[in-house]
Amino acid sequence: FGEERILGLANTRSFGDISSKRIGVSAEPEIRMTHMEPSEYSFLVLVSDGVTASLEDQEIVDIVKEAKTPEAAAKELATFATEVAGVRSDNATAIVVRLGGWERRVEGGGGSIGTKEVRDWKKVQAEDPRASRQ
C-alpha cells in the first residue's frame, strides 16, 4: 500500500495530463498476474489515497480483519479515514473483496491490538477541537 507519487505527483494525475508525459508520467498500467489458491488469502482491499493518507497498511488490514463482512469493512475504512483526516480530508473510497480464506482472516494476526490503540488515539485527536489538523 502506501501513497505512490512520481516527482510529487499522485499516480492518478497521469490520466489526461499531457504536460506531465514529458517527464515520464504515463497512464499505461503495469499488469501482473498472480496465481492464488482458493483459500490461501482472506481478502483483497482496494482503496483510494484518501484512505492511505490517513491509515497505515497494518491499520487497513486490521480494520478488515475485525469486520463481520467485506461491506462493513469497506464502509469502516472509508468512514474512519474521513473522520480522522479532519480538514485534510480527501475523498475516501474502499472496496473489500471476500476471498476463499475469509473465515480464517483473524488467525495469526497479532497486529490488531497495537493498531487498535493507534486508531483509538487518532479518533480522539480528530474529535479534539484544540488539536491542530492542518
Angle, helices 57-66 vs 70-85, to 10°: value is 140
Least confident of 28-42, 99-113, 118-132: 99-113
**What are the sequence ranges of the domains in the chain?**
1-33, 36-127
pLDDT at 1: 45
Confidence (pLDDT) at 12? 61
Q: What is the DSSP letter of 129?
A: T
Is 77's pLDDT higher than 90? yes
- Name residues whose C-beta falls within 8 Å of residue 45's C-beta, 6 or more positions apart in sequence: 60, 61, 64, 73, 77, 94, 95, 96, 97
Q: Residue 104 above 70 pLDDT?
A: yes
Q: What is the pLDDT of residues 13-55, one digit of tens each?
A: 666 667 777 777 777 777 899 888 878 889 999 999 899 989 9
Question: The whole model's pTM is what?
Answer: 0.72
Query: Residue-wise over 1-17: b if at least 16 C-beta within 10 A, else e?
Result: eeeeeeeeeeeeebeee
